[in-house]
Structure 1
Amino acid sequence: MIKQYLMERLSWIILFLSLQLLLCFVAYLDPTIPVASILYIIFLSLLIFSIFLVIRYHRETTFYTRLLDQDNDLDLTQIADPRTPFEQIVSDSIIGQTEQLKQLSSHNLLTLEQERDDMLAWIHEVKTPLTTMHLMIDRIEDKTIKRHLSFEWLRIHLLLDQQLHQKRIPFIENDLYMEVTNIESLFYAEIKTLQSWCIQKGIGFDFQLEKTKVLSDGKWLAFILRQLLTNSIKYSNGSDILVKSFQQEDHIILEVKDFGRGIAQKDIPRIFDKGFTSTVDHYDNAASGMGLYLTKKIAQSLLIKIEVYSEFERGTTFTLTFPKINEFLDTTGM
């Protein structure tokens, strides 16, 4: 702050030094003026001016030092009391802008919450005719038409479900209920929902579950498994999907492995990024780039470590590493 203070007062310092030089120049031109007296006056002036700068430094920098040290939030109580008219102008400007930002932030937050509530209400309203449509599709006798309609119905169902969870993620901490969850039951429920799609693509499942129970939130974990299964089914044809679980160093490991087209190596670091689809099928309009992004976000809230290994044209393996019970309790404070 000393450097900034001297730079701020540089013009005053230059003016003062120029006046002292002017006195020396006058004494040089006028022989009747004692040079020793002029030098004595200049010495006293420099001493007094230096003391003045030191005193004013503390007084003039206190306000700005507190501004620099305060947190980058909207708390106005941390602003130092202004002591000069200029400091008062700065303080009034900051307080006015902060109050305006608070009002704007509050308004935007209320708008976002209203939009979220409206979206959730709309999704729940759409589910009713969607359920009715599913019952009507089940009564269709033409198997070809029934298969196509079932697939399109499933796509709508999955998109609505993804949108529902996307809107709930910002408040996931308020919704978590950790309990011992049977992953085998979750898988069977998800596969039943995806059954028509699996039949259409000739996909089967091979379960090798040594461990079937984990500590997690069943509802959010089901969404993670749903995204991994739909991702595997989407990029596979006529092959089985291997689901395996085992214990390793007090951690339960779950693997979902397919033998589909795989993921290009250059895409692997980006597959969990929001909105990223693929550089291989860049014009795939059906991909939203949100499924794996949401999966990663939810996994982080559940303290699940998610990893992916893939070989292009040979398949992809997603690995979920569940936390130790003590590790979860220590982190969440439960």
Structure 2
Amino acid sequence: MIRNFLIERISWILLFFAFQGMSLFIAYIDATIPFGSMLYVTFLSSLLFAVFLCFRYFRETRFYRSLEDWESSLDLSEVAEPISPFETIVVHSITEQTKLLKSELSENRIQLEQEKDDLLAWIHEVKTPLTAMQLMIGRVENVTLKAQLNQEWLRIHLLLDQQLHQKRLTVIENDLYIEQIQLESIVFNEIKTMQSWCIQKGIGFDIQLNRTDVLSDAKWLSFILRQLLTNAIKYSEKSDIFIKSYEKEGQICLDVTDMGRGIDQKDLPRIFDKGFTSTTDHREQASTGIGLYLAKKAASPLLLKIDVDSLIGKGTTATLCFPKQNEFVNLQGM
């Protein structure tokens, strides 16, 4: 700040020293003016000028220091009161711009909330004909056609479900209900939902649930598991998916292992990034790069840890580690 202050007033400082130099020069060439006295006056005036600069520095920079420390929170109470006409102009300009930004922010929030509500309403409306479609598919006699229709119905159902939970993620804390739940029922419900897809791809399940009681939210845990199973089924073909639960260092963990094509090691750090698909199969259109991103986002407020280990051609293992009970007690005072 001192450097900026001196740079801002460099012309005034140079003008002052120019006057002092001119006074000394005149005293030097004019014998009627005592040079020693003028030198003494110059020293005193320079000292007074230095004191004046220090005083003005603390007085004038108070306002600008407050601007420098001001966080962009649109709260002008943190800005110091102006003490000069120019500072008043700055404050007036900032105030007007802040009012405009607050107004635009409020309008944008209202618009986003409206769009979110409209989308949620649309998703719920679409679920009605989707349910009717499922009943109609059940009456189709052609086995091959029925399997194809079931698979396409499931794809639409999963995409709508993904969109629904994506919009709810912003307020997930308002929707959580932490309780003791059984992994077995959640795992089997999700497998049953994707049964037609698994049958068409020749995929089976090997399930070993040694520990089934976990502390979590049933609805959001189902959503996270759904994303992991969707990935496992999508990249597998005529092989088994292994699901097992176990205890590790006092925590219950759940593994979902497929024998699919696997993930390149260089891609593993990015698989939870929004929109990231793959560098190995970059032209593939089936992947959206959103499932694991949403699973990671939903896992955070549930204190779930998601890890993925994979090798090309050797399959992929996604691991869910559940929190200990005291972690939720400390967080929510259960």
If the TM-score is normalised by the length of the shorter chain, which range does it land in?
over 0.9
> Secondary structure of the residue that 1:267 maps to in structure 2?
helix
Quick one: which amino acid aligns to residue 144 of structure 1? T
The answer for the alignment partner of 1:45 in structure 2 is: 45
Q: Shift of residue 165 of structure 1?
A: 0.5
The answer for the alignment partner of 2:215 in structure 1 is: 215
Q: Shift of residue 332 of structure 1?
A: 3.4
**Rounded Cα–Cα distance in structure 2 between residues aligned with 1:54 and 1:227:** 64
Matches within 5 A, 1:206-285: 206-285=206-285
Matches within 5 A, 1:18-37: 18-37=18-37
Matches within 5 A, 1:55-74: 55-74=55-74
**Rounded Cα–Cα distance in structure 2 between residues aligned with 1:15 and 1:169:** 63
**Rounded Cα–Cα distance in structure 2 between residues aligned with 1:239 and 1:278:** 22
Pair 276,122 (structure 1): closer, same or farther in 2 beyond 3 Å:
same
Q: Shift of residue 333 of structure 1?
A: 4.0
Q: Shift of residue 3 of structure 1?
A: 2.3
Matches within 5 A, 1:1-334: 1-334=1-334
**Rounded Cα–Cα distance in structure 1 between residues aligned with 2:82 and 2:279:** 57
Q: Shift of residue 286 of structure 1?
A: 2.2
For 1:64-84, what per-residue CA distance to the aligned partner results, in whole angstroms no more than 9, with x for missing partners? 112222222111111111010
Q: Shift of residue 236 of structure 1?
A: 0.8
**Rounded Cα–Cα distance in structure 2 between residues aligned with 1:249 and 1:265:** 26
Q: Which runs of 4+ in 1 moved over 6 A?
A: none
> Secondary structure of the residue that 2:265 maps to in structure 1?
coil
Quick one: which amino acid aligns to residue 23 of structure 1? S
Quick one: which amino acid aligns to residue 18 of structure 2? S
Structure 1 gap ranges (5+):
none
**Rounded Cα–Cα distance in structure 1 between residues aligned with 2:43 and 2:229:** 85
TM-score when scaled to structure 2? 0.98
Quick one: which amino acid aligns to residue 148 of structure 2? H
> Secondary structure of the residue that 1:43 maps to in structure 2?
helix
Q: Which segment is superposed worse, 319-328 or 45-54?
A: 45-54
> Secondary structure of the residue that 2:307 maps to in structure 1?
strand
What percent of counterpart residues are identical? 61
For 1:245-299, what per-residue CA distance to the aligned partner results, in whole angstroms no more than 9, with x for missing partners? 0112210011001111111112111111100111222222222111010001111
**Rounded Cα–Cα distance in structure 2 between residues aligned with 1:105 and 1:279:** 38
**Rounded Cα–Cα distance in structure 2 between residues aligned with 1:162 and 1:227:** 9
For 1:122-154, what per-residue CA distance to the aligned partner results, in whole angstroms no more than 9, with x for missing partners? 000000000000000000000011011110000
> Secondary structure of the residue that 2:32 maps to in structure 1?
coil
Q: Which segment is superposed worse, 1-10 or 289-298?
A: 1-10
TM-score when scaled to structure 1? 0.98
Structure 2 gap ranges (5+):
none
